[in-house]
Amino acid sequence: MSKQSPIDDTYKYGFSKPERYVFKSKKGLDERVVADISFQKHEPEWMKRFRLRSYEIFKRKAMPTWGADLGDIQFDDIYYYIKPTHDKARSWDELPPEIKDTYDKIGIPEAEKRFLAGVSAQYESEVVYKSIQKKLQSQGVVFLDMDSGLREYPELVQRYFGTVIPPMDNKFAALNSAVWSGGSFVYVPPGVRVELPLQAYFRINAANMGQFERTLIIAEEGSFVHYVEGCTAPIYTTDSLHSAVVEIIVKKGARVRYTTIQNWSANVYNLVTKRAKVEEEGIMEWVDGNLGSKVTMKYPSVYLVGRKARGEILSIAYAGKNQHQDAGGKAVHAASETSSQIISKSISKDGGRTSYRGLVRVERGAKQCKSKVVCDALLLDEESRSDTYPDMQIHEQQVAIEHEATVSKIGDEQLFYLQSRGIPEGMAESMIVNGFIEPIVKELPLEYAVEMNRLIQLQMEGSIG
Amino acid sequence: MKRHILDIKNLQVSVDGRSILQGVSLSIHSGEIHAVMGPNGSGKSTLVYALMGHHQYEVNASNGTVAIDNELLLNLPPEDRAKKGLFLAFQSPIAIPGVTVSNLLRSAYQELYGSSTQGNDDAVQNPVLKRRWNSTKMTFQEFSKQLKHYAKALAMDEKFFSRGIHDGFSGGEKKKLEILQALMLEPKFAIFDEIDTGLDVDALKHVSQGIQTLVKKGTGCILVTHYQRILQYVKPDVVHVLVRGKIVDEGGAELAEYIEHHGYGKYV
């Protein structure tokens, strides 16, 4: 069926492979489908009940009335669970050729050669490939797909699953809680530093297929881990839904960095709930890049619940034609001396729309908190649009809150300057855009920074030519 | 050394429909230094920007011409004028945050002296190819060596290479960076727009030494200036006086001195 899809050659990563499935649920969602997912996965009873309860909440919850337009999502026209192969491959060689081929195209073997700590790649709804290096095991670090995590560490999962983002949180968190599949489970024992980033790649490969991965990261006291997630998706003929939930627990003095580059194809609704609970002196850093999708609504959050906890959110959004990136961040200061920083950079082009939506809340009793919010928007033409919706709810007196917002147009004078040096207009434009997002790109692991710059360049040069 | 000629004939330029330059003509050869002097509002900036091809300056192309070695420039975008050998040192160059000085110099050099016309698509698809040095004029090592050499001559710290273009630069640093680019990009003709404003004596010396080095390498230099301060350090071969959009007088270095003492009163 992928062969029938029209190939949009402006989307350079738009390739898809023949589908090969063992099990595919029927389209649409009801209790049977939810129970069936749980049955197929041989889950414990509590998880089945959790899913069914979440499904009830999903049905009751209204669609969000704010943010991007979600009116075109057809919940009945989506496959909620697809199981691609029976067994997960243990090594690269065991992967089916077409899956391997897909990963070859997005460069995973190369990435692995660069001393990655482990690769966990999600194909369809299930993680099929995983290699965990011996070092991780010897440190006691657990890096599994969520399904295996539930099987192998049932107590840990039951203790933390859904505690940071309960199904009641929002309609899409409820949906994910009902039908989740895949994602990662990471556990870092006390005091352990995972020096190399843990990486997960995934992509959607079936038309009309929803992707509902669920990630849970637990960083014990004094530990450190950097988790990296990147995705590129093929082209589809009808709308697709990606609705993930990421829960992170940062214990006392621990530090977690979570990096995402999202480049879904232009028909995907990308509605993700990401939240970290940060305990005393813990640090949570979200680095979030949103390039693709039709609509993205994503606001990585930090709940600072322990004294001196710190949260940082760096977010880049790029919106081209027919795209709306509604992104930002949320920092809740629930303890004294906590600090947060939200830096958001957005670029709109060819009529694309970006919105910064952010919340900083300081709870009563949380004294001497600090927060800084910077949002810069760059508009590349007259048709494009950018809005800012900052929300500050400050219930304490002794706080230091800074907020800066700028909207700029790509400068004629900057373009002229570079052109006067012999640099053609399209290239000059992409240099300026890359310069604009540089403060965030420099925080990315090298191969992601390279990919980010390349993607921006593709977007720029594709339309200027 | 090949001798080039930049030939400006009857250049007429208007801004927002208002005629500013009313037929300016001048010719300059490789290795020469010309000064274009004039009071405020005489059209100096218009001349500078129109030559480089800024889109806000409307050139009446049916009458006048600008050519380097008989190759016409007025219908070309700025980047192609640069490729024909024209360079502009800006009076108040704009900052481009996040785009480093070394990125600018490398990119510009390869655009100007690239060894092949390999398609951008290839370069984009293959980041290794993209990053591969693409010039036969100098190797990348030679380029880097030369960059360090000129930076040292201008008393510029190498840490400037990794800063954003003109981002947070002082007035003097900006002017030096403009000169550094001219030295690295080796244009046939370079225009310096009010290069001496805001410079202290030390910076002025470095900047004028830079211009002299450029002249020795064969670049023809046009110094556009209100005052003759820079001309005490860089002696012009020819001085053109621009008043109300026209060249009203021409002469040698002594003309600049005359203006220094008597001002532009005689011409207005």
Domains and CATH numbers, chain B: 30-54+77-262 (3.40.50.300)
pLDDT classification of A83: cutoffs 50, 70, 90 = low
Q: Identify the pLDDT of residue A7.
A: 36
Q: What is the pLDDT of residues A408-429, one digit of tens each?
A: 787 789 999 999 999 998 889 8
The reported pLDDT for the residue numbered A126 is 39
Backbone conformation region of residue B39, classed left if phi is above 0, alpha if psi is from -120 to 50, else beta: beta
**Alpha-carbon span B105 to B98, nearest angstrom:** 14
pLDDT at residue A378 tops 50:
yes
Amino acid type, B182: A
- Sign of the Cα torsion A352, A268, A120, A278 reads positive
pLDDT at residue number A77 = 81
- Give chain B's contact residues with A (Cβ, < 8 Å): 52-55, 77-79, 81-83, 87-88, 90, 93-94, 96-99, 103-104, 107-108, 111-112, 120, 124-125, 127, 164-165, 181, 185
Both tokens assigned to A224:
């450190």
Mark yes or no for CB contact A411/B94 under 8 Å.
Answer: yes
The shortest CB-CB distance from A420 to any of B82, B103, B165 is to B82
Strand B238-243 relative to strand B33-37, pairing: parallel
Please list, in sequence order, all residues whose beta carbon lies within 8 angstroms of the beta carbon of residue B159, skipping any fewer than 6 positions away: none
- Check whether B197 has a pLDDT greater than 90: no
pLDDT tens across B47-81, in order?
999 999 999 999 987 889 999 999 999 999 999 99
CA distance B226 to A164: 67
Tell me the C-alpha distance between A366 and A275, whole Å. Answer: 20
Q: Residue A463: its pLDDT value, please?
A: 44
- Residue by residue, DSSP assigns A52-114 as HHHHHHHHHSPPPSSSS--TT--GGG-B--EE--SS-BSSGGGS-HHHHHHHHHHTHHHHHHT
This prediction has a pTM of 0.74
The maximal CA–CA distance of chain B, rounded, in angstroms, is 62
Give B116's pLDDT tier (boundaries 50, 70, 90): low
Question: Is the Cβ pair B98, A420 closer than 8 Å?
Answer: no
Confidence of residue A462 (pLDDT cuts 50, 70, 90): low
Provide ipTM, 2 decimals.
0.94
A233-257 mean pLDDT:
80
Give B-chain residues touching A419 at CB under 8 angstroms.
53, 77-79, 82
Which pLDDT band, with edges at 50, 70 and 90, does A156 fall under?
very high
Provide mean pLDDT across the span A385-403. Answer: 92
Does the pLDDT of residue B226 top 90, yes or no? Answer: no
**Residues of chain B contacting residue A411, judged by C-beta atoms under 8 Å apart:** 94
Q: Render pLDDT for A270-319 as a digit per residue (tens, 0 to 9).
A: 999 999 999 999 999 999 988 888 999 999 999 999 999 999 999 999 99
Q: What is the pLDDT of residue A231?
A: 53
